[in-house]
Amino acid sequence: MFAAYAARIDRENPLNGLELGERPAPEGHPGWTTVTVRAASLNHHDLWSLRGVGLAEDRLPMILGCDAAGVDAEGNEVVLHSVIGQSGHGVGPAEPRSILTERYQGTFAEQVSVPTWNILPKPKELSFAEAACLPTAWLTAYRMLFTNAGVRPGDSVLVQGAGGGVATAAIVLGRAAGLRMYATSRDGAKRARAVELGAEDAFEPGARLPRRVDAVIETVGAATWSHSVKSLRPGGTLVISGATSGDRPSHAELTRVFFLELRIVGSTMGSKDELEDLLSFCAATGVRPVIDEVLPLDRAREGFERMAGGGLFGKVVLTPS
């Protein structure tokens, strides 16, 4: 079957390790289900995999891709939860938690096999492309906002780095839930797009906000960390799920953290139950993932190049057929 896969690890030039070509179809295992992929979406996790983060060389070649929606052997339209080993179903009770492509072949292929427990029904209201955007970036944003930030309708939230998958999702989901959303971006067009999607206003990084916010959604890391901490009201919450600009900020703002009793919460992905809630939320409210571009799988390299270049606003979706 045709697939996009990591053939080599190259930490400096990750796209040098990306190959497109034939790979073996998934083999059947007890407790696992093979899904015919109709759409899969890119995440920064795929670039990190090509750098060898979370992916060991002895597991190569590895088909990339965490997210997918497709059709199972019975013809059911399904969405995949990409966290493997969250339960003992299909993997055994001692299985360490991982994401697809770290230990198991991923979704950038005509077919993928996952534990049956990891499959959820796709709501009829969502297209395959829309559903394929949800299990990683949108699920991460959903958990950050509604599980870890502790915000309620009417509260204010700052999203750093508008344009990224998680940041975009947070703006759309927060607005739909009645939150007052603010965003930052170095790019004026991205700031304008954030406002179109529901942000009350968007600012250049480091700019003073109209008010201190109840929570900050942080995925940028070192470059925005100080601004994130300074933007919080006393007792506010900073939720972090990534550090694309580095994980060692020059100003940690520790005095401000303890004096204002700020909360800093780490957040990673989300549970199967949260994905089910997210799917229902989108179906009920009309919220849809922001898709930057849909490409056929044989043009996957173009999608990777756009993501690596930072020019995206929303998700790149790959369609194997």
Pair 187, 154 in one domain: yes
Pair 23, 124 in one domain: yes
- Decide if 276 is inside a domain: no
Pair 25, 83 in one domain: yes
Instruction: Say yes or no to pLDDT of 34 above 90.
Output: yes
Q: What's the average model confidence in pLDDT over 167-181?
A: 96
Instruction: Say yes or no to pLDDT of 94 above 90.
Output: no
Q: What Rg, from alpha-carbon coordinates, does the chain have? A: 19
Pair 24, 91 in one domain: yes
Structure confidence at residue 146 (pLDDT): 96
Pair 225, 257 in one domain: yes
SS3 257: helix
- Domains identified in the chain, total number: 2
Tally of helices (H runs) and strands (E runs) in the chain: 9, 18
DSSP string for residues in 19-66 = EEEE-PPPPP-TTEEEEEEEEEE--HHHHHHHTTSS--GGG-SEE--S
Pair 72, 186 in one domain: no
Instruction: Say yes or no to pLDDT of 88 above 80.
Output: no
Express each pLDDT in 263-321 by its tens digit: 999 999 999 999 999 999 999 999 999 899 999 999 999 999 999 988 788 899 999 97
SS3 80: strand
- Quote the domain boundaries for residue 238: 137-266
Structure confidence at residue 19 (pLDDT): 98
Which of 236, 198, 241 is CA-nearest to residue 217?
Answer: 241
Q: What's the average model confidence in pLDDT over 161-170?
A: 90
Pair 262, 143 in one domain: yes
Domain CATH for 84:
3.90.180.10
Whole-Å CA distances, 177 to 21, 123, 156, 171:
43, 20, 11, 10
Pair 215, 259 in one domain: yes
Pair 7, 47 in one domain: yes
Distance of CA 309 to the CA centre of its chain: 17
State pTM to two decimals.
Answer: 0.93
